[in-house]
């Protein structure tokens, strides 16, 4: 491995890492919003919306992100919807992540015993108050491990972004290999940069898990 080459490549990887983190962060954020909405629809058994959400979740979970990105990037312009690569990346990640987040939130919501809600209602709360103050905080603590796993999964999935010509880490590595054939250095930096991004997420996740671990230990 040539340290000089690594030194030359570093700024390029740095830029790509920033793009990966930015788009990944937005994708994760929107996924969480979509997921929470879908989980609420399923939990509250909202008619009609419930069926739509179910179809979305199956569609989203059972197709690869690469295909979803192609569909958004090359397919949607045919019906007049044009997107930039960045918007396409975030939209694709959200489409994929929304279903995973929905399942994580839903499993948390369903883990909270029904009587917790009844207990809150009997103390004069409205259903909305019971959900916000009593159900969601408990559901969240159950969901955290699955949510953290999803965040890591989604950040790794950003490596397919290169397919819609986004200059993320994967794109940069492939590009440099194509240009200079310094395969070892290029791939080494690729691994290192993904680790730099993902390790702190894992550590933060573990800390968060410990902090919210109150549910499931008896009421």
Partner 1 sequence: MSEEVLTLRGVVKEFDGKTILDGIDLTIRQGEVAVIIGPSGCGKSTLLRCINALEPIREGEILLQGEPIRAGAKNLPSLRQKIGMVFQSYDLYPHMTVMENITLSPRKVQKRDRREVEREAAELLARVGLSDKAESYPRQLSGGQKQRVAIVRMLIMQPEILLFDEVTAALDPEMVREVLDVMLELAHQGRTMLIVTHEMAFAQAIAHRIIFMDDGRIVEEGTPGQFFTKPQTKRAQEFLDRFRFDT
The answer to whether residue 211 forms part of the interface with partner 1 (CB under 8 A) is: no
Shortest distance, position 111 Cβ to partner 1, whole Å? 11
The answer to whether residue 68 forms part of the interface with partner 1 (CB under 8 A) is: no
In this chain, which of 59, 118, 156, 196 binds partner 1, going by CB under 8 A?
118
Distance of CA 142 to the CA centre of its chain: 18
Shortest distance, position 137 Cβ to partner 1, whole Å? 5
- Say which residues have a Cβ less than 8 Å from residue 100's Cβ, sequence separation at least 6: 31, 35, 61, 150, 153, 154
Kindly write down the DSSP assignment for every residue of 127-185, as one continuous string: HHHIIIIIIHHHHHHHHHHHHHHHHHHHHHHGGGGGGGT---HHHHHHHHHHHH--HHH
Q: Hunting for tokens 């996924």 — which residue is that?
A: 31
The answer to whether residue 119 forms part of the interface with partner 1 (CB under 8 A) is: yes
User: Which is nearer to partner 1, 33 or 115 (by Cβ)?
Assistant: 115
List binders of partner 1 among 133-152 (CB under 8 A).
133-134, 137-138, 141
Applying CB under 8 A, the residues found at the interface with partner 1 are 113, 115-116, 118-126, 129, 133-134, 137-138, 141, 212, 214-219
């Amino acid at each position: 491995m040539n340290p000089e080459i690594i030194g030359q490549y570093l700024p390029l990887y740095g830029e790509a890492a920033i793009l990966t983190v930015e788009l990944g962060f937005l994708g994760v954020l929107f996924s969480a919003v979509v997921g929470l909405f879908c989980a609420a629809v399923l939990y509250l058994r909202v008619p009609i919306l419930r069926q739509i959400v179910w179809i979305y979740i199956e569609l989203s979970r059972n197709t690869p992100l690469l295909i979803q990105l192609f569909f958004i990037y090359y397919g949607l312009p045919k019906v007049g919807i044009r997107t930039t690569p960045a918007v396409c990346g975030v939209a694709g990640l959200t489409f994929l992540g929304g279903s995973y987040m929905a399942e994580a939130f839903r499993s948390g919501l369903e883990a909270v015993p029904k009587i917790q809600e009844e207990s809150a209602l009997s103390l004069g709360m409205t259903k909305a108050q019971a959900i916000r103050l009593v159900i969601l905080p408990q559901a969240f603590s159950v969901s955290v491990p699955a949510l953290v796993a999803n965040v890591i999964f989604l950040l790794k999935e950003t490596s397919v972004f290169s397919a819609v010509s986004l200059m993320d880490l994967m794109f940069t590595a492939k590009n440099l290999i194509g240009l200079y054939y310094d395969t070892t250095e290029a791939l080494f930096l690729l691994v290192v940069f993904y680790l730099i991004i993902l390790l702190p997420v894992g550590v933060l996740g573990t800390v968060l898990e410990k902090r919210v671990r109150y549910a499931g230990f008896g009421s």
